[in-house]
Structure 1
């Protein structure tokens, strides 16, 4: 074999070694790559994301709510929803409200994100639920069945049973100047803000910092 041929063969060795190295790395890390990517892609599909669908549901929820929302706030909420798809997947929420039909768009939005949401119409109905199921959070209104403090009363029931779960207050009217109970993580009247708070709590829950 001529010297020129040997030189040509030797010149191809680095390329062959790189291909072999890349193949080895791929097959070694293949399981980890799939394990990390598949849930993310599945979560994104679950959100429909169909960010368009999320946007429609958020707009519908906003139309049913009193406070307006800026285009920037809407865009930020949708951006967080898209990036938090994996975090929201499988989250467990108990939503206590005697008029759940008013939350229909948000319920559909969170369920589209892969969250499991149980609905209770009263504190009495909610009690066996949160005693039985370890929820990531409870979303509650304040005024139920003519009692303007029903949501606060539920907090005392949680304390009685020593159930430590964060509570979000989502109500048509909320006056923070009247004071905020220490058991309340946050309170809002705006759908966009509720989306942010739900994501905040799910991120903390996933990190185990609650």
Structure 2
């Protein structure tokens, strides 16, 4: 004969065994529905930021092409991809950085200036050493970016270095000049010098990384 009392007991045991799972599923559903709006609101800005960064990198690529065309420096596809990848990965490092750019023809630097500003850097352009010294007394900067030949003086950039030493302004100096000849050597006060816009972007990232991580070799060498 069948034990009629056994079946209900087995069913109850089965139900009791499934209660914890049902409880957690219900609990998770309630929590999700309660926090759904908050979760979406927190994720949307991050997704938007990623999309915006993609747009910035795309724009940076176009501006980089303009800069290389203006400089007549050959840039390989690998070089182009490399610097754009670095810009993308260094976005947080570059954000908030500042450059004082000394050049009597700032319009020639527009593509690179636009790239750095698109990465939320501050770039102030001045046309002479005197203007640079005024700006340095007024504001603080992470990097000085300068040309060499200004207003007909082929040594204007080098003379500025001596002024910086006299006034104990210990900021890293990066030289970007179409007339730069690496075979002539580099002044001891210059972090790096180039006539290649791709290298300018790399050097700016290098310097900002050192500034952010407190390298003792960036300031006061």
TM-score tier (shorter): 0.7 to 0.9
Residues 136 and 205, structure 1, Cα contact 8 Å, conserved in 2: yes
Residues 56 and 119, structure 2, Cα contact 8 Å, conserved in 1: no
* CA distance, structure 2, for counterparts of residue 194 and residue 44 of structure 1: 26
For residue 187 of structure 1, the aligned residue among 187, 193, 197 is 193
Q: Counterpart of 2:133? A: 127
Distance 1:98 1:108, change over 3 A: same
Q: Counterpart of 1:7? A: 17
For residue 86 of structure 1, the aligned residue among 74, 92, 95 is 92
Structure-2-length-normalised TM-score = 0.79
* CA distance, structure 2, for counterparts of residue 180 and residue 110 of structure 1: 25
Q: By how many angstroms is 1:169 displaced?
A: 0.3
* CA distance, structure 2, for counterparts of residue 82 and residue 143 of structure 1: 32
Distance 1:126 1:11, change over 3 A: closer
**Paired positions, count:** 197
Q: By how many angstroms is 1:50 displaced?
A: 3.5
Does residue 1:168 correspond to 2:167, yes or no?
A: no
Q: Which of the pair has the greater relative contact order for Cα pairs under 8 Å at 6+ separation?
A: 1
Q: Counterpart of 1:139? A: 145
Q: By how many angstroms is 1:66 displaced?
A: 2.1
SS in 2 for 1:187: strand
* CA distance, structure 2, for counterparts of residue 16 and residue 184 of structure 1: 64
After superposition, residues 62-101 of structure 1 pair within 5 angstroms as: 62-101=68-107
Which ranges of structure 2 fall in alignment gaps of 5 or more residues? 1-8
Residues 44 and 82, structure 1, Cα contact 8 Å, conserved in 2: no
Residues 65 and 190, structure 1, Cα contact 8 Å, conserved in 2: yes
Q: By how many angstroms is 1:68 displaced?
A: 0.7
Structure-1-length-normalised TM-score = 0.83
Which ranges of structure 1 fall in alignment gaps of 5 or more residues? none
Question: Please, which moves more after superposition, 181-190 or 1-10?
Answer: 1-10
Distance 1:11 1:206, change over 3 A: same
* CA distance, structure 1, for counterparts of residue 111 and residue 205 of structure 2: 17
Q: Which has the larger radius of gyration?
A: 2
